[in-house]
Amino acid sequence: MGMFDEGVEGIVKRQMVLFFVIDTSGSMMGTKIGAVNTAIREVLPELQGAGGADVDLKVACLTFSTGCQWMYPSPIEADNFQWNNVEAEGVTDLGAACRELSEKMSKNGFLKAPSGSVAPAIFLMSDGEPTDDWEKGLDLLKQNNWFKYAIKVAVAIGDDANKDVLAKFTGTIEAVITVHTPEALKKWIRKVSITSSQIGSKSQPATDGQIQSKQDAMIEEIKEIQQTEPDLDTTSTSGDDW
């Protein structure tokens, strides 16, 4: 067999990383963190093949409370990712998470696939107020070119979440989803994970000579879901149900 035989197919796939960035501070304890654990564990097998024929989808999980830590030292294929239940305690060091994301979102870090990477998707979940210097951490992260082109979605878990902070992270309030029940949280985790993986791994078609950004395509999908599934509309609420 020559070097250009069957094996070549597996080499040319580019990599896309889906980053779960999860607030595991003490206020997440109980039903909130339970819903996150259940939903991500259940959606991981569904992400198999979400990258299509051209992109190999990998998953990385960064949790932040007092400091931050990765679940694994490098991204792992979605279908091989073993979810370890995360527990809630400590404060809300979002700035530390931003700095860590910026460091690993590089060709020397988590995006060093030999065949190249496509822009990642970053899915942030939080229920509170950052407790460290999040602005300085986010300013650093915003200078990262991978972050600029990434799909960025945030879920505000309950009314105590600081949606202004989450909107600064995603770049727009339109990419911030508020959830008031464990069921809504689980459904949105599933939908955002699958949709962002699909949009992120496809080339965007040009319309009227303009190529829509993947972030704009994701926001359109969020609006569509809210219109077609009223129980996932984030505006109608009679208070939190945790």
Read off the pLDDT of residues 68-90 as tens digits, 9 standing for 90 and up.
Answer: 999 999 999 998 999 999 999 99
- Tell me, what's the pLDDT at 240? 75
- How far is it, in rounded angstroms, from Cα 221 to Cα 60? 23
What tens digit of pLDDT does each residue of 17-62 get?
999 999 999 999 999 999 999 999 999 999 988 888 889 999 999 9
| 68 closest CA partner among 127, 128, 136, 137 | 137
- Tell me, what's the pLDDT at 1? 45
Per the DSSP assignment, residues forming a β-bridge with 198 are none
What tens digit of pLDDT does each residue of 199-240 get?
999 877 666 667 789 999 999 999 999 999 877 876 655 677
What is the band of 170 on the pLDDT scale with cuts at 50, 70, 90?
very high
What is the band of 7 on the pLDDT scale with cuts at 50, 70, 90?
very low
- Tell me, what's the pLDDT at 6? 47
- Reduced to 3 states (helix: H, G, I; strand: E, B; else coil), residue 140 is helix
- Tell me, what's the pLDDT at 203? 77
| Structure-derived torsion over alpha carbons of residues 71, 77, 83, 89, reported in degrees to the nearest 10 | 30
Residue 102, H or E segment: helix 94-104
Place of tokens 């955002």: 192
Query: Is the pTM higher than 0.85?
Result: yes
> Do the Cβ atoms of 166 and 176 come closer than 8 Å?
yes
Angle between helices 31-43 and 182-201 in degrees, nearest 10: 40
Query: Position 160: which residue type?
Result: D
Share of the chain above pLDDT 90, in %: 76
Please give the C-alpha separations between residue 175 and each of 25, 35, 83, 165, 229, in angstroms, as whole numbers.
Answer: 22, 21, 25, 12, 17
Identify the DSSP state of 27.
G
- Tell me, what's the pLDDT at 209? 67
- Tell me, what's the pLDDT at 4? 47
What is the band of 5 on the pLDDT scale with cuts at 50, 70, 90?
very low
The Cβ of residue 205 has, within 10 Å, a number of other Cβ atoms equal to 8
What is the band of 108 on the pLDDT scale with cuts at 50, 70, 90?
confident
Query: Position 217: which residue type?
Result: A
Quick one: tokens of 64? 């932040």
Question: Cα 65 to the chain's mean position, in Å?
Answer: 17
Pairing of strands 55-65, 76-77: antiparallel
- Tell me, what's the pLDDT at 230? 79
